[in-house]
Amino acid sequence: MRELAWLIPVLPLVACALIFAFGPRLPGRGAYVAIAGIGLAALLSIGIFVEGLGGAKAHELNVRWVPYGQTALDLGLRVDNLTTVMLLVVTIVGSMIFVYSVGYMHDDPRFSRFFAYLSLFAASMLLLVLANNLLFLYAGWELVGLCSYLLIGFYFEKPSAARASMKAFVTTRVGDLFMFLGILLVFFTLGTFRFEEIFAKVHAGALEGMMVGGLPLLTVVAVLLFGGAIGKSAQVPLHTWLPDAMEGPTPVSALIHAATMVAAGVYMVARTYLLFFESPGHGALTVVAWIGAVTALMAATIAVVQDDIKRVLAYSTISQLGYMMLGLGMLGYAAGMFHLMTHAFFKALLFLGAGSVIHAMHTNDIKAMGGLARAMPSTYWTFLIGTLALAGVPPFAGFWSKDEILLEAFHHHRGLYAMALAAAFLTAFYMFRVIFYTFAGTTRSHHAHPHESPAVMTRPLWVLAVFSAGIGLVGAPFLGNPFHHYLHFEGLKAPAFSWGVALAGVGASGAGIAAAAAVYHWKVVPSGALRRAAGPLFTLVAHKYYFDELYAAAVVRPTLAVARALRTFDVYVIDLIVNLFGFAGLGLARLYRVFDLYVVDGAVNLLGWIAQTAGGVLRYVQTGRAQNYLLAIALGVIVLLAAGLFR
């Protein structure tokens, strides 16, 4: 089965090519083809996963691509336990979102193209996941970035969407630059891109003692690679693109900007975990942990003050990605990946639920909604399940994974643990704020007539809800934590389950829910008073810690100023020179034209005239009578004879 792994990315790619080629003429205007592609990939992934459960060995498919000297560039796929988990997440969540999109995008004029992009994204993401070397991974990494760009800007007529897609592309590119440097550094020091060889060499101490600018080389490499993850997974300080990316269609937000692509950063860190782990004094892991914790807390605070339902979820995504990073950074390899998996399911569910709500209300503003629980029961219940999972209420999925991360943090760094706990409280708070605003009470908008979405949209919701509710059990300690057995890092042992930490986590969630209920449902403390009481802190959070303003002042404006200056230079100096050359050329051309007309043309016409006149005269010689010609021949013979005789 693992030999067939190469088919997994190829299937969506074929679907993509078919849709691009034949478009709306395909069954379901291309949607069925796309769903077939990802569905078959999902079946294959499940098969491979089941095989993995049976203890199948890691499988590598390697093709020598460019051999040179001692080394070579390889193209290859690697199927191991980490891969299978990611494959499952990507293909199952992806399939659900594909199906959902049929309903959500139903009236869109670019319906077919949407599915082509989605398929291309799926293929790229699966390639990224399956890559067995850094180069291949990087290729997939950039391809998903491209798809993200295309899909954020799917409504490119909207200037905000076009701007958001550009912002996402450029911002992630900053991180990618660091990652690329890291990859090059790996290649130049170790001479290979393949993970297996890299790990073997690093494990054997190939980079030990090497220093770059006073820092251990391995740490530098790991942090550079992590730079890519910061960009892709929207960690502080490159997180600003993700909220803007919500301009894209909601299924895209669910698939790319919640479940899969943004998790690619986390996956990449897990994939190259050995580099982080071996860095002296866990230096690189400390960076990862701190960035993750800061991101988790900061994004959670911003999420509290957002009114756009998708932006709340976007900041929540950033926060949860921070959680994953924190887990990885706190030596919780399995914990981070576990949270990635559970998060993919419940965050996709939440986004699709939000999409369903937006579909019904035609607005993103949660303050304009309200009372939707009665109008949209399926959406409400599934959204509630997702919220509970995200808030970390047992036994829903989020609880188990979050608890593991908290446990790791508790064991290794109390300060980070406190931040994570605060983030958990805020998570519960802002999610239930959304619930209360959206589904409870009465409708505040008077010209909306909410209705339940069609079955093609609600059924994926229920499937994802089932996963969100139950998937956490694979990591439940009282079941022996099978996830840990399936996926773990050599030499790392998870700390034992602690009732204290678990209760503290549940307590934080419960407090968050209670606080949200107090403010937004029972209105014990009106939210306006709370806002005034917070004062400057609220302003700070509402402006998202002024990150966008900072970047505008520090990067965007100077760049624009330089560009303007260069434009002036272009217009007045370069254009002038070019125009001068142009005018000179024009003048010369006019001269040449005169020369052409009177000299060249004259000569040509003269030749033509001569030929014509001579032909006109000589044609009388051609009588068409053979005997005239024969006489000429006879005369010729006479002349020749005479010439021979009287020489």
Partner 1 sequence: MGQLAAFIILSVVTLVSAVVVVASQNIVRSALSLIPTLLGIAGVYILLQAEYVAGIQVLIYAGAITVLILFVIMLTEHGTGARFRQVNEQVLPGTIAVAVLAALLMAVFFGTAWPRAAGTLPQYTATSIGTTFLTSAILVFIVTSFVLLVALMGAIVIARRER
Partner 2 sequence: MTLGLTHFLVLSTLLFCLGLFAMLTRRNAVAILMGVELMLNAANINLVAFNKYVAPGALNGQVFALVVITLAACEAGVGLALVMSAYRNLETVHVDEINVMKW
Which residues are near partner 2 by CB under 8 A? 619, 622-627, 630-631, 634
Least distance in angstroms from the C-beta of 631 to partner 2: 6
| 160 versus 623: smaller Cβ distance to partner 2 | 623
In angstroms, what CA-CA distances link 419 with 231, 282, 426? Answer: 22, 20, 11
| Least distance (Å) between residue 627 CB and partner 1 | 6
Shortest Cβ 629–partner 2 spacing (Å): 10
Residue 75 pairs with which residues in a beta bridge?
Answer: 63
Question: CB under 5 to 8 A by kind: which of partner 1, partner 2, none does 622 bind?
Answer: partner 2
Sign of the Cα torsion 8, 259, 176, 290 reads negative
Instruction: Confirm or reject binding of residue 623 to partner 1 (CB under 8 A).
Output: no
Q: Which residues pair with 77 in a beta bridge?
A: 61, 131
Closest contact distance (angstroms) between CB of 619 and partner 2 is 6
For residues 626 to 645, the per-residue mask of contacts with partner 1, x marking binding by CB under 8 A and - elsewhere, is -xx--x--xx-xx--xx--x
For residue 298, which of 343, 352, 257, 242 has the smallest C-alpha distance? 242
Residue 622 CB, nearest distance to partner 1 (Å)?
A: 17
Phi, psi (deg, nearest 5) at residue 133: -145, 165
Residue 50: in which H helix or E strand, if any?
A: helix 31-53
Task: Determine the 3-state secondary structure of 225 from DSSP.
Answer: helix
Q: How many residues bind partner 1 (CB under 8 A)?
A: 10
What, of partner 2, partner 1, none, does residue 641 touch, CB below 5 to 8 Å by kind?
partner 1
Q: Is 70 in the site for partner 1 (CB under 8 A)?
A: no
Query: Minimum Å distance from CB 632 to partner 2?
Result: 11
- In this complex, which beta carbon is closest to partner 1, that of residue 377 or of residue 636? 636
Buried b (16+ CB within 10 A) or exposed e, 39-54: bbbbebbeebbebbee
645 interface partner picked from partner 2, partner 1, none, CB below 5 to 8 A per type: partner 1
Q: Which of residues 242-271 bind partner 1 (CB under 8 A)?
A: none
Partner from partner 1, partner 2, none contacting 491, C-beta within 5 to 8 A by type: none
Q: Count CB atoms within 10 A of the CB of residue 610.
A: 10
638's contact among partner 2, partner 1, none, with CB below 5 to 8 A by partner kind, is partner 1
Which of partner 2, partner 1, none binds 626 (CB below 5-8 Å, type-dependent)? partner 2
* Sequence-ordered list of residues with C-beta below 8 angstroms from that of 270, at least 6 positions apart, any chain: 82, 328, 333, 336, 337
Nearer to partner 1, 68 or 646 (CB): 646
CA distance 309 to 320: 16
Phi-psi region of 544 (alpha: psi -120 to 50; beta: other; left: phi over 0): left
What values do phi and psi take at 108, rounded to 5?
Answer: -75, 135
**Is 614 or 642 the residue whose CB approaches partner 1 more closely?**
642
Name the binder of 610 from partner 1, partner 2, none, CB < 5-8 A by kind.
none
- Please check whether residue 1 is in contact with residue 20, taking contact to mean a CB–CB distance below 8 angstroms: no
Which tokens belong to 367? Answer: 């303050």
Length of the chain: 647
Nearer to partner 1, 66 or 621 (CB): 621
**Residue number with CB closer to partner 1 (565 or 638):** 638
Cα–Cα distance measured from residue 181 to residue 189, given in angstroms and rounded to the nearest whole number: 12
Closest approach of Cβ 639 to partner 2, in Å?
15
Backbone torsions φ then ψ of 62, nearest 5 degrees: -120, 130
CB neighbours of residue 428 within 10 Å = 28
Q: How far is the CB of 638 from partner 2 (least distance, A)?
A: 11
| Cα separation, 82 vs 267, whole angstroms | 9
Nearer to partner 2, 447 or 619 (CB): 619
Q: CB of residue 626 vs partner 2: minimum separation in angstroms?
A: 6
Q: Which residues are near partner 1 by CB under 8 A? A: 627-628, 631, 634-635, 637-638, 641-642, 645
